[in-house]
Amino acid sequence: MTDTSVVGIDKVNNDGNRSLRILVVTECFWPDIYAINDIVEKLVKRGHRVTVLTGLPDYTTTKIPPEYRHGQNRHQNYKGADVYRVQTIARHHGPIWRSLSYLSFVVNGWMRARTQDWKHTDVWGKGENQKDTDRIGSAGIRSSALSDIDDADFDVIYVWEVSPVTMAVPAIALKKRYKKPLFLYCMDIWPECVKAMSIKEGTLPYKLIHWWTKRIYRQCDHIAVSSKPFFQYMEEKNGISRDKMSYLPQYADVGLLELDTSKISNQNVTNTSSESNDNAYDLVGNDGINHTDFLFIGNIGKAQNLDCLMKAMTVFKGRNDVHLHMVGGGSEFDNIRKLARDLGIGDIVTFYGPKPFKEAVAYYNKADACVLTLDGSTHIGDTLPGKLQTYMAAGKTILAAANGAAMDIIKEAECGKCVAAGDDKAYGQALLDFADYKEKYSDCGEKARKYFRENFMEEQHFVELERLLNMMTDRH
């Protein structure tokens, strides 16, 4: 591993690529559970020096934890990366609070980008065992003499762009201030995503957001998209030329490939979530062969269109040999849980709330197949969701109601069945077919893993990411 205590442009990592100093801008970060946490950790392990500009954690509980209030923990170390936090408003519940949360990161992140000395740090290169108390002041702004390390600068800015795209505003300020290239990893396309907030195309709010979105995207030096259908949308809607974009699919933890995730019958489902159903489900007493267990792991929001899944599950009303396990949280958690009860399927659906990855893995041993739904009413449905790769790495049959990239990959890999997004009747029949004729799907899990190995390996993702980032720094 490259020594990252002082990383200069002449150093290389284990893959022969130049080690970089990367400034990551993301509104969402540890201790909340996001893929960017793993990306940052892996970049550090690959020999890069990483700094993170982020907000305060609030995703899991919708509130700012006590240990992050009153200026606490504004400068921390995460797995060797230097983390700066700006004050943000907790998202609470509802679109108004969520919008205020987004805007607070834009404003405070922009101010921090303009005023902080981003060329110097005391935390870079320290290991993950460093205590949280080893940081610079309560506000994260340096108060002592600056480091004399001449190359303690960053080479490139990396924006991990899930909604909202406005999280890139502080990154644009950094780009202009330091004249460094800006790379944006696009997993949510804007302004399409605002339609999920009931903002209709053609309205004044939509037009204003579209204008702002185009300005943000156009100030990026390079944009990598996680789904191929995004290319056309970004070209037609935001005027981004194709030669300014690359395809960089998300990856899943390769450790899942090595795990035996085959179903273990007669195993208790431990339910520790305070947000879960009153009737915690127990597999004990069920025949592991004849009983069917479906698993959903991931965000529970509007874009996931989980109404379709709940309605599809009504085909099993009155049956005691089928169960759906919902692992995850999000803005629609309460609504979807209520819908399950209103539809009369509360006895066959259990909600566990969000789980850390290491805990979530155990749920694959309880599942016969994994389920996935996306909203098909907008281009949001073209997204290639990260959970699809995770399902594939786990070697599970995938049953989906989705359009775009998800449908294309499931059909290409022959790893399950996919119907049109939003078609709950067709989806119900697909779930029913699996439950009654599992033998038809016996090789889907292995086909999923085969496709994953060929297309979504972690190493492939980072080699391509490093190539793009090095290409950008070479041009500057």
Q: Which amino acid, one-letter code, is at 23?
A: L
How confident is the model over 158-217, as pLDDT tens digits? 999 988 899 999 999 999 998 999 999 998 889 888 887 778 888 998 999 999 999 999
Residue 94 has pLDDT above 80, yes or no: no
Contacts of 37 (CB under 8 A, 6+ apart): 29, 30, 78
Looking at residue 306, its amino acid is L
pLDDT of res. 182: 96
**CA–CA gap between residue 50 and residue 35 (Å, rounded):** 16
Minimum mean pLDDT range among 84-88, 264-268, 278-282, 330-334:
278-282
Residues 282/401, Cβ–Cβ less than 8 Å:
no
Token code pair at residue 311: 């309605």
Whether residue 31 has a cis bond before it, omega within 30° of 0: yes
When the pLDDT of each residue in the chain is averaged and rounded to a whole number, the result is: 83
Q: Which pLDDT band holds residue 4 (cuts at 50, 70, 90)? A: very low
Q: How confident is the model at residue 293 (pLDDT cuts 50, 70, 90)?
A: very high
Neighbours of 22 (CB within 10 A): 24
End-to-end Cα distance, the chain: 27
pTM of the model: 0.72
Contacts of 449 (CB under 8 A, 6+ apart): 257, 392, 393, 395
The torsion angles phi and psi of 181, rounded to 5 degrees, stand at -70, 145
Residue keyed to tokens 């490139």: 156
The stretch 110-114 carries a mean pLDDT of 90
